[in-house]
Chains A and B, each alone.
Chain A
Amino acid sequence: MLRRYSVHMFLALLGFVLVYLAYNELVNLYILSILMFMGVNIILSASLNLVNGYMGEFSCGHAGFMCVGAYVSSMLGVLLFAKDKVFGLPLLSPEFALYAFPVLIFAGGVAAAFAGLLVAIPSYKTRGDYLAIITIAANYIIISGIENISYIGGSRGFMGMKRLIRSMEDVVDLPWMLIWVFLFTIFSIWILRRYLSSTFGKGVSAICQDEVAAEIMSVNTNKIKTITFMLSSGLAGIAGGLFAYILGYVNPGSFNILKSTEVLVMVYLGGMGSLSGSVLSAIFFTVLLEVLRPLQIIKWVVIPLLLIILMQFRPEGIMGNRELGDIFPWLKRFYRFK
Chain B
Amino acid sequence: MTQLHVQEKSVPVLEIENLSQRFGGLTAIANFNIALGENDLTGLIGPNGAGKTTVFNLVSGFYQPSEGEIRIGGTPIAKLKPHQVTAMGVARTFQNIRLWSDMTVLDNIRVAQHYRLGYGFFHSILRSKTYQQREAEITKEANNLLEVFDLIRYRDEFPGNLPYGTQRKLEIARALSVHPKLLLLDEPAAGLNSNDIQDLIRLIRWIHNTFDVSIWMIEHHMDVMMELCNHIKVIDFGETIAEGSPEEIRKHPAVISAYLGDDTL
Contact = CB atoms under 8 A, between A and B. Distances in A.
A201 B81 CA distance: 20
B174 interface: yes
A202 B112 CA distance: 10
B171 to A, nearest CB: 9
Contact of A215 (B82, B124, B131): B82
Nearest to B112: A217
Contacts, number: 96
Given A199-B113, A209-B103, A213-B99, A218 B124 contact: no
Interface in B74-119: 81-83, 86-87, 91-92, 94, 98-103, 107, 110-117, 119
A246 B103 CA distance: 40
Interface of B: 60, 62, 81-83, 86-87, 91-92, 94, 98-103, 107, 110-117, 119-121, 123-125, 127, 131, 135, 138, 174-175, 178
B86 A194 contact: no
Contacts of B175: 217
A198 B135 contact: yes
Residue from B94, B99, B125 whose CB has the most chain A CB atoms within 10 Å? B125
B182 to A, nearest CB: 13
9 contacts: A194-B125, A198-B131, A199-B107, A213-B99, A213-B100, A215-B81, A216-B83, A219-B115, A321-B102
A284 to B, nearest CB: 25
A199 B121 contact: no
Contact of B121 (A195, A202, A205, A217): A195
Interface residues of A, number: 28
A202 B111 contact: yes
Contacts of B121: 195, 200, 227, 231
Contact of A205 (B83, B102, B178): B102
Contacts of A264: none
B119 A217 contact: no
Nearest to A273: B102
Contacts of B125: 191, 194-195
